[in-house]
Structure 1
C-alpha cells in the first residue's frame, strides 16, 4: 500500500503533518516585515530550546555545515584542537579540522563505548602551555548509539581556562537536555532534520560570549559561513543571504509544538522510548551494541546474531514499509539502528517492534519468543 512509509532512523526523522503543510504556504519576501516577525519568534524559541541567553544563528546547511561554521569562526590557522572520537561523526570532525590546517589530537574510544572524561582530563592537565584552543565532542554519537558525558567533559574544559567547548549536538538537541549556559558550552551546532522535526536544510549554531571573543581574532577563511554577518543581521531579524523561507515556516510550527509539549516532557518522552526499544531488543535476544549507562536517547544500535542485519532491514522495508538505519564503516552489515528521535511516539515503537518480531520469524531467527518484545516495550510504556 502506498503512502504508509515509516521512518525509524536517526535522521531525517518523521515530520508532523502541520509542519509539512506549513511549507506549502505561498512564499514571502525574506526582507519583509512579515518574515522578520517569523524570525524573531523562531529565535526566541531556539534560545529556549538551547537553554541559553545568547542568540542561536541559522544557516542554510546540514548539521555538518553548522559544525564547520562553528569551528572556522572561533579558530585560527595552526591552532591545536582536541577531538573526541568514538564513532563516525567524531572521526568526521577530526577530518574537518585537518582540512582547515588545524593541529588535531584525538581522545578515542571503541565504537559502542563512551569517551572517558579522564582521558580529556589527562590531555588538558598536561597542556601547561595552554596550546589547546578547542575541545570538540559529539554529544550523541549516532553511528554507535552512544551518548557521551558532555557535562563532565565541559567542566574539565572550563578548568583548563583557555580551550573552548565545541559541541556537535545534532542528535541530542531536542532529545535530551543540553543546557548551554549552565554547562558552559561555547559552540553548539545542530540540524533541522533531527529533534527539530523539520526536513533537512537548516543548521543552527549557538555561541557563548567566550566564543564571540575568539571570533574576533579567528583567521580561518570564511564568507558564507561568517557568523559575524549572521549575528549582525540577526539582531535586525533578518539574514545576510537568502534563507530557505519554507523551512522557516516549518520551523516556526515545529518549535511551537515543542514549546507546548515542554522541555521536561520532551526529554522524558525520548527517555521512555529509548527504554522501551532497548527492553524490546533484549526480550527478543538481540544484543545491544551500547551499554545502558551510555545509551543515546536518539537511536538504539543492535548487533543481531544468527540473522544478518541487512536481511532484517531489507525485510522491514519491503514487507512493512519501515526504514531502519544500517551500520556505518566497519559496522556496515553488522548492526541495525532503530531511531526514536523527534516526532516519534509510543505507537511508533510498538509498531516497529511488532514488525521486527514478524521479520525475525520470517527469516527463521531462533532464540526468541514471539510477542516477548512487544510485551517488554508495552511494560515500559505503561509504567
Structure 2
C-alpha cells in the first residue's frame, strides 16, 4: 500500500488499460487518443494554452520548462525552501543562467513579499523568469503561488515557471486565471498512473520568449512537440500504453470534477494532520502551510526510520522518508491521487499500532483514528 508522494496508487481501470496491446503511434487510432487526452489535459490545467506530453519524469518536464525559454546569462529568480526548489536552482546553474534565490527554512513557506520586493527593485526588468515549486514534496509545504503570481504579472517581463508536480490534480492551479507561463508535472502523482510521462503547459508569452531563447535543446525542444501536437502526434516514440492509462485516469478525474478532487485532497490532508497531532507527533510544515499532497511528520520520541520500517514489515504500508539533511528525521504520509478516506484510516491505524510496537506511549489508544474520523464526519 503506497502512502508516498509518488508513485501513487493506480486504479484498477488504469491498470487494465496498461495491459492493452500497443497500437502504432503513427496510426489514426493513436492520433484520436492523443486528441482526447490533450483536451482533457487542458481541462485539468484550466487553460486554453498548449499542454505538451513528454516521455520523461517531472524533473525532465521542469528542465524542458526552463531551457526552452531562456538564454545563457539570463537572470532568474528561484524560490528555494526544499529539495526540489534547490534542484531547479541547480538545473539553472548547469545551463549557465544567473541564479538568484529567495529562500525559506525547510518546513516553512516562501514569503511572497520577498518576491514582490525583488521584482519591484528590478527597474531594468532584467529578471527573465521566476521559478517556483508550488507543493514542496520534500517538506509537505504548499507555497502561496496565487500571491507570487500577482507580483510576477506586475513585473510584466518575467516568465512564471511552476513545478506543479505534486499540486496539479490535488489543489487549484488555474493556469490562465493566475497568469502562469509554464507548468510542469509528472504522471505518477495526481494523474494516478505509473511514472514515465511529463507534462509541460506553455503560455503565449512563453512561446514569444522561445523565439529568442538560445539554450541548447534537442529531445526536450518543446517547439517540436508543439508542432506535432497540432496534428495530434509526437516528434518521438511515445510510451503508448501510458497514453492508454492516461486516457482512463483523466476520464475518471473529469467525472469526479475539479472542485470535488480539490475538496477530497483537502479533507484527506486535514484528517491526516489531525490524526498525527492526536498521536502527539509534531507536524513538520509550518501551521497553515501544509500541502494537500503529503504530510511530513517530525517525531521526537521515536525514530522516523523505525516507524517506516515497522509500517512496511507488519502492515505492508510504505511511507516516505526525509531527504538530504532531513533523512532519518521525518517521515512523510502521502495522500495524493487515488487515495480515499478508507486509506487514511487504515494508514493511521497501522501507524498507531507501529508506535505501540516501538514503545511510544504518548497518545491514547485510538486517538489518531478518532481524530481522522471526526474530520471525515464533518466533510
Offset of 1:77 from its aligned partner?
Answer: 1.1
Offset of 1:182 from its aligned partner?
Answer: 0.0
The alignment partner of 2:116 has SS state of helix
Partner of 2:118: 123
What CA distance in whole angstroms lies between the structure 2 residues aligned with 1:291 and 1:95? 25
Is 2:60 the counterpart of 1:65?
yes
What CA distance in whole angstroms lies between the structure 1 residues aligned with 2:137 and 2:65? 20
Partner of 2:224: 229
Greater shift, 245-254 or 125-134, is seen at 125-134
- Which runs of 5 or more residues in structure 2 are unaligned? none
What CA distance in whole angstroms lies between the structure 1 residues aligned with 2:66 and 2:217? 11
What CA distance in whole angstroms lies between the structure 2 residues aligned with 1:74 and 1:64? 16
Offset of 1:171 from its aligned partner?
Answer: 0.2
- Which runs of 5 or more residues in structure 1 are unaligned? 1-5
Partner of 2:99: 104
What CA distance in whole angstroms lies between the structure 2 residues aligned with 1:283 and 1:306? 15
> Which residue, out of 192, 197, 200, partners 1:205?
200
Partner of 1:25: 20
What CA distance in whole angstroms lies between the structure 1 residues aligned with 2:287 and 2:258? 23
Partner of 1:133: 128
Offset of 1:122 from its aligned partner?
Answer: 1.2
What CA distance in whole angstroms lies between the structure 2 residues aligned with 1:12 and 1:154? 29
Q: RMSD of aligned C-alpha atoms? A: 0.5
Is 2:50 the counterpart of 1:55?
yes
Indicate conservation of the 8 Å contact 1:198/1:251, yes or no.
yes
Q: TM-score, normalised by structure 1?
A: 0.98
Offset of 1:271 from its aligned partner?
Answer: 0.2
Cα-to-partner distance string for 1:5-62 (whole Å, 9 max, x where unaligned): x000001100001101101101100000000000000000000000000121000000
Is 2:313 the counterpart of 1:313?
no
What CA distance in whole angstroms lies between the structure 2 residues aligned with 1:161 and 1:132? 10
The alignment partner of 1:250 has SS state of helix
The alignment partner of 1:288 has SS state of coil
> Which residue, out of 350, 357, 365, partners 1:362?
357
Offset of 1:292 from its aligned partner?
Answer: 3.4
Cα-to-partner distance string for 1:279-307 (whole Å, 9 max, x where unaligned): 00010000001133111000000001211
Offset of 1:82 from its aligned partner?
Answer: 0.2
Indicate conservation of the 8 Å contact 2:188/2:194, yes or no.
yes
What CA distance in whole angstroms lies between the structure 2 residues aligned with 1:85 and 1:92? 9
Is 2:216 the counterpart of 1:238?
no
Cα-to-partner distance string for 1:299-347 (whole Å, 9 max, x where unaligned): 0000012110000000000110000000001110000000000000000
Is 2:35 the counterpart of 1:40?
yes
Is 2:75 the counterpart of 1:80?
yes
What CA distance in whole angstroms lies between the structure 1 residues aligned with 2:365 and 2:206? 53
Indicate conservation of the 8 Å contact 2:109/2:286, yes or no.
no
Shift >4 Å, 4+ stretches? none
Offset of 1:382 from its aligned partner?
Answer: 1.2
What CA distance in whole angstroms lies between the structure 2 residues aligned with 1:315 and 1:229? 48
What CA distance in whole angstroms lies between the structure 1 residues aligned with 2:248 and 2:154? 40
Q: 1:245-324 maps to which residues of 2 (within 5 A)? A: 245-324=240-319
Give the total of aligned pairs.
378
